[in-house]
Amino acid sequence: MSASVIVSLSHLTSMKLQRVNTYIIPHLLVLFMILLASTSTRAQVEELEDEREFDYIGASEKGPRHWGEMKKEWSSCKNGHLQSPIDLSCARVKIIPRCRQPDIYYTATNATIINRGHDIAVYWKDDAGSVYLNGTEYFLKQCHWHSPSEHSMNGRRYDLEMHMVHVSPDNKIFVVGALYKFGHRPDRFLSQLEKDIKHLVDNEVEREIGETNPSGLQTRGNAYYRYVGSLTTPPCTEGVIWNIDRKIRTVSEEQVRLLREAVHDHAERNARPMQRRYNRDILYFRSKSRAKPEYY
């Protein structure tokens, strides 16, 4: 075999390996992430609703430092290695280019807004739609807000974070998250709820709000982060797939103030402290050909 043929074969092999790295490895990373989530405990898929059992005060015996010691079933809050929230640093992400986004379908249905003491949440009574990801369908159950944001980007925490909690028929959890900063433009979805939230300030626990379309939350961006973590309140259940939109939206200071006034005093700042990453993969999906994540 001539030297030129050997060089050509070597070049061809190199090109094939590059294609494998470009197309196969990202899919293997996604598959590994799904398997990791599915093998984690799913004993309790909902966040705790009795807020009297915990709080967010740093020095309190019920504060985040002690959540994992208060009940045996909350031990993951202290001992888990897949805890949330974490910092989404552009230096740590694995970029997955030209990747198809999850199939998302939402529809308007009757909902109830509830003051859970530690946050304000909207629960949809019927089928409000779902997210279809890697062969699993996750149905939307509720959304709620944390202030300041729980996740950070490059070390920066923003003014508000919204979570849309989805659950599959076999109790796997998928959470869509969005971060907000103060701006002149208020959030449209919260604007629709302002009158109802004001009723909750006066200790009304819950209120029917009629047909509410989750699409108003506008969480479908061009780029997002995905990693396997946990619920951010007790029992801190692990195996949660997080999908955090890269786009930073705007919210008015009055809207955040209203959310804080409605909850109990210990939860006015209801963000769990940052958790250790433990070398977890953070995948960055983008549908546009940008070289790296951007921040606002």
pLDDT tens digits for range 61-78: 999 999 999 999 999 999
Determine the Cα–Cα distance for residues 100 and 7; give it in Å rounded to an integer: 36
Whether 41 is covered by a domain: the verdict is no
Whether 116 is covered by a domain: the verdict is yes
Q: 31: part of which helix (H) or strand (E)?
A: helix 25-39
- The residue whose two tokens read 């060089």 is 7
Q: Compute CA 61 distance to the chain's CA centroid, rounded to the nearest angstrom.
A: 27
Whether 213 is covered by a domain: the verdict is yes
Give pLDDT tens digits for 163-187. Answer: 999 999 999 999 999 999 999 999 9
Q: Lowest-pLDDT range, 10-24, 93-107, 145-159? A: 10-24
Can you read off the two tokens belonging to residue 71?
């009940």
pLDDT at 198 over 80: yes
- The residue whose two tokens read 């005060």 is 57
Confidence grade of residue 14 (pLDDT, cut at 50, 70, 90): very low
Contact criterion met (CB below 8 Å) for 283 and 261: no
Rounded mean pLDDT, 27-43: 48
pLDDT at 40 over 90: no
pLDDT at 220: 73
pLDDT at 31: 47
Domain that holds residue 246: 66-286
Determine the Cα–Cα distance for residues 113 and 120; give it in Å rounded to an integer: 7
Domains held by the chain: number: 1
**pTM to 2 decimals?**
0.83
Percent of the chain predicted with pLDDT > 70: 78
Assign residue 126 a region: left if phi > 0, alpha if psi is -120 to 50, beta otherwise? Answer: beta
Determine the Cα–Cα distance for residues 133 and 6; give it in Å rounded to an integer: 43
pLDDT at 49: 57
- Looking at residue 113, which CATH number applies to its domain? 3.10.200.10
Which residues are identified as catalytic? 118
Whether 49 is covered by a domain: the verdict is no
